[in-house]
Copies of this chain bind each other. A is one copy, B any other.
Amino acid sequence: MQLDKLETKISIEDEAWQLLENSILYYQGRPIGTLAAYDASVEALNYDQCFVRDFVSSALLFLIKGRTEIVKNFLEETLKLQPKERALNAYKPGRGLIPASFKVVTNSNGEEYLEADFGEHAIARVTPVDSCLWWLILLRSYIVATNDYEIAYRPEFQTGIKLIMDICLANRFDMYPTLLVPDGACMIDRRMGIYGHPLEIQVLFFAALRVARELLICKGNEEIVEAIDNRLPLLCSHLRQHYWIDIHRLNAVYRFKSEEYGKEAVNLFNIYADSLPYYDLDKWLPKKGGYFAGNVGPSQLDTRFFTLGNLMAVISGLSNETQAEAIMNLIEKRWDDLIGDMPMKICYPALQGEEYRVVTGCDPKNIPWSYHNAGSWPVLMWMLTAAALKTNRLDMARKAIEIAKDKLSEDEWPEYYDGKKGRLIGKQARKYQTWTIAGFLLAKELIEQPANLPLVTFEQLPLEAVSRACEFELNSIERY
Residues in B neighbouring A123, C-beta threshold 8 A: 259-261, 265, 270
Q: Which of A122-139 touch B at CB < 8 Å?
A: 122-127, 129
Interface stretch (choices A182-190, A396-404, A451-459): A182-190
Q: Are B93 and A261 in contact (CB under 8 A)?
A: no
Known interface pairs A183-B300, A230-B90, A358-B355; A167-B171 also in contact (CB < 8 Å): yes
The verdict on A321 contacting chain B, using a C-beta distance below 8 Å, is no
Residues in B neighbouring A197, C-beta threshold 8 A: 182
Residues in B neighbouring A86, C-beta threshold 8 A: 171, 223, 227
Q: Are A181 and B173 in contact (CB under 8 A)?
A: yes
Residues in B neighbouring A190, C-beta threshold 8 A: 270, 298-299
Residues in B neighbouring A170, C-beta threshold 8 A: 170-172
Q: Are B176 and A172 in contact (CB under 8 A)?
A: no
Q: Are B263 and A183 in contact (CB under 8 A)?
A: no
The verdict on A73 contacting chain B, using a C-beta distance below 8 Å, is no
Interface stretch (choices A24-32, A360-368, A408-416): A360-368
Residues in B neighbouring A357, C-beta threshold 8 A: 274-275
| Interface bits A335-349 vs B (CB < 8 Å: 1, else 0) | 000000000000000
| Interface bits A90-106 vs B (CB < 8 Å: 1, else 0) | 11111111000000000
Q: Cα distance A297–B124 when bound, in Å?
A: 8
Q: Are B361 and A124 in contact (CB under 8 A)?
A: no
Residues in B neighbouring A231, C-beta threshold 8 A: 90
Q: Are B91 and A177 in contact (CB under 8 A)?
A: yes
Residues in B neighbouring A172, C-beta threshold 8 A: 94, 167, 170
Interface stretch (choices A113-121, A373-381, A471-479): A113-121
Q: Are A121 and B262 in contact (CB under 8 A)?
A: yes
Q: Are B261 and A119 in contact (CB under 8 A)?
A: no
Nearest to A364 among chain B residues (CB) is: B272
What is the CB-to-nearest-CB distance from A398 to chain B, in angstroms, rounded to a whole number? 38
The verdict on A280 contacting chain B, using a C-beta distance below 8 Å, is no
Residues in B neighbouring A93, C-beta threshold 8 A: 175
Q: Are B275 and A361 in contact (CB under 8 A)?
A: yes
Residues in B neighbouring A196, C-beta threshold 8 A: 182-183, 195
Q: Are A174 and B127 in contact (CB under 8 A)?
A: yes
Q: Are A299 and B363 in contact (CB under 8 A)?
A: yes
| Interface bits A312-326 vs B (CB < 8 Å: 1, else 0) | 000000000000000
| Interface bits A453-467 vs B (CB < 8 Å: 1, else 0) | 000000000000000
The verdict on A21 contacting chain B, using a C-beta distance below 8 Å, is no
Q: Cα distance A129–B174 when bound, in Å?
A: 9
Q: Which residues of A contact B (CB under 8 A)?
A: 45-46, 86, 88-97, 118-127, 129, 166-167, 170-177, 180-185, 190-191, 195-197, 223, 226-227, 230-231, 234-235, 258-263, 265, 268-272, 274-275, 297-301, 353-355, 357-365
- Give the top 5 A-B pairs by smallest Cβ distance, nearest first: A124-B270, A90-B177, A299-B361, A354-B354, A124-B298
